[in-house]
Amino acid sequence: MRLEDVRFAATRREALLLGMGALLAGGTQFPSNALAEGALSSEAVATLRAYADVLVPGAANAGVTDFVAAMLASDDHMLFYKYMDFPLPPLKFYAAGLAALNEFSLKQKQRPYSALEQADMKALAGALLDPAVSGWGGPPAFLFYFCVRNDALDVVYGPAAAYERLNIPYMAHIIPPTNW
C-alpha cells in the first residue's frame, strides 16, 4: 500500500500510525486536507510547529502540524480539544489561537512567533500560563496552551515507537493494525 492511497484516519491512533509510519519510512509526511484546502495559513502552520515544539520538544519532527491539520479535516477529529467544553468549532479554535499567539508575539517582541529565538518562544509560552495575561486576544490562553500541549504529547509519546525509544514495553490493549 502506498501512502498516497491511504485516506485520513478516523481515529487518533490511526492518524499517529499513518504519520509516524510515513516519517519512519523515509521522512515523508502524510498529506493534509486542512492545509491543502487552506484551512490553516502557512503562518499558522509555522506558528503551530514552533509552539508545539516549545511545549513538547520533538513535536515538530514527529509531525504535529500534519496531525493537527489532518484531524481538523476529519469529521470526527481526535484532538484533545474534543474533550473540552468550549463553544468554538475546532478549526476556529486553533486558527484563532494561532493568530492570537502571533499577534501576542508581535506586540511583545515585534516578530512573528515562529521567527523568535528559542528563549523568547519559551518566555511567551510561559506567559500564557498567567490567568491575567495582558495582550492576549484569542480563546482562553491557558486552554489553548493545554490543548496544543496535549496534542503534541500525543504525537511525540503516543506511538509504539516512542515507547521503544524510552525502553518501555508497549502493552496496548488493542495492538495497532500496522507495523511501523
3-state secondary structure the chain: CCHHHCCCCCCHHHHHHHHHHHHHCCCCCCCCHHHHCCCCCHHHHHHHHHHHHHHCCCHHHHCHHHHHHHHHHCCCCCCHHHHCCCCCCHHHHHHHHHHHHHHHHHHHHCCCHHHCCHHHHHHHHHHCCCCCCCCCCCCCHHHHHHHHHHHHHHHHHCCHHHHHHCCCCCCCCCCCCCCC
The closest of 142, 147, 9 to 80, measured between CA atoms, is: 147
How many structural domains compose the chain? 1
Number of other CB atoms surrounding residue 70 within 10 Å: 27
Q: Tell me how far apart the alpha carbons of residues 55 and 80 are, in angstroms, rounded to a whole number.
A: 15
Q: Would 173 be classed as within a structural domain? A: no
The pLDDT of residue 49 is above 50: yes
Q: Is residue 99 part of a domain?
A: yes
Q: Between the ranges 3-7, 52-56, 137-141, where is the mean pLDDT highest?
A: 52-56
Residue 155 has pLDDT above 90, yes or no: no
Q: Does some domain include residue 73?
A: yes
Query: What count of residues does the chain have?
Result: 180
The backbone torsions φ and ψ at residue 132, rounded to the nearest 5 degrees and listed phi first, read: -110, 35
pLDDT band at 69 (very low <50, low <70, confident <90, very high): confident
Residue 133 has pLDDT above 70, yes or no: yes
pLDDT at 142 over 80: yes
Residues 110 and 103: their CA atoms lie apart, in Å, by 9
Distance CA(164)–CA(97), nearest Å, equals 33
Q: Which three cell numbers stand for residue 108?
A: 511583545
- Check residue 105 and give its pLDDT: 96
- With a threshold of 0.75, does the pTM exceed it? no
The total of other beta-carbon atoms located within 10 Å of residue 79's CB is 23
User: Which residue segment(s) compose the domain that 107 sits in?
Assistant: 3-165
Percent of the chain residues topping a pLDDT of 70: 76
Q: What is the pLDDT of residue 34?
A: 44
In a domain, 80, yes or no: yes
Residue at 69 is within a domain: yes
pLDDT-derived band at 176 (thresholds 50, 70, 90) equals: low
Ramachandran angles phi, psi of 165, nearest 5°: -60, -35
In a domain, 177, yes or no: no
